[in-house]
Amino acid sequence: MVNNQASGLPLAPRSCAGCGGKIADRFLLFSMERYWHTRCLKCSCCQAQLGDIGTTCYSKGGMILCRSDYIRLFGHSGACSACGQSIPANEMVMRAQGNAYHLKCFSCATCRNRLMPGDRFHYINGTIFCEHDTPGAVLLSSHLPPLQSSSVLTDQKVSALQSHLYATASSSHEYNIVWIT
């Protein structure tokens, strides 16, 4: 995409986000809410000038990446423990006991209500229950010893399990690259 200067007035000099220098070139790039010399917006891995190879770039872990290197390095977050489908690296996930879930899949096995960050829940033998649904039948049928005589988790144990739940953005972002003349 090319934006032509509509007013006919010269643009004020802009600073390059890459090198910090003033941009006096005929063409400049705008991406990640910043301006760049065309030579300065480069992939951290392959050093390709991103304006020349596409209209998007990615950032993750302090790196700016072309699409190929982003997919090579961060192709997906693994498989959802509930549905088994792949989770893209830029998708928010819920995690419990080291397992990753799509947001829509992180739900109570009994009532099917979706759980949100901060919700209290029971996580028994890989099965998720909201705080209102007792996992007693699962506990009684399992070969694991009950957590307490009533087969219901105490608030302290629920809180300990809850500490393993969090929503995480993989801290990756996709940005458009706009040519400005």
Question: Would you state the pLDDT for residue 153?
Answer: 40
Encode the chain (181 residues) as per-residue pLDDT tens digits.
444 444 454 556 799 999 999 999 999 999 999 999 999 999 999 999 999 998 999 888 788 999 888 877 776 567 888 998 888 777 788 888 878 888 999 999 999 999 988 888 888 888 889 988 876 654 444 443 333 322 334 444 444 444 333 343 446 677 888 888 7
Cα separations in angstroms, 4 against 1, 30, 33, 138: 10, 13, 18, 65
Measured CA to CA, the distance from residue 40 to residue 17 in angstroms comes to 8
Strand partners, 180: 3, 28
Domain with CATH 2.10.110.10 in the chain: 15-74+171-180, 77-144+151-168
For the chain, the first-to-last Cα distance in angstroms comes to: 11
Question: Would you state the pLDDT for residue 177?
Answer: 83
- Is the pTM higher than 0.85? no
Question: Which candidate, 105, 98, 71, 102, places its Cα nearest to that of 86?
Answer: 102
Query: In CATH, which of 3.40.50.720, 2.10.110.10, 3.30.1370.60, 3.40.1110.10 is domain 15-74+171-180?
Result: 2.10.110.10
- The alpha carbons of the chain give a radius of gyration, in whole angstroms, of 24
DSSP secondary structure letter of residue 113: P
Domain 77-144+151-168 has CATH 2.40.170.20: no
Question: Would you state the pLDDT for residue 87?
Answer: 83
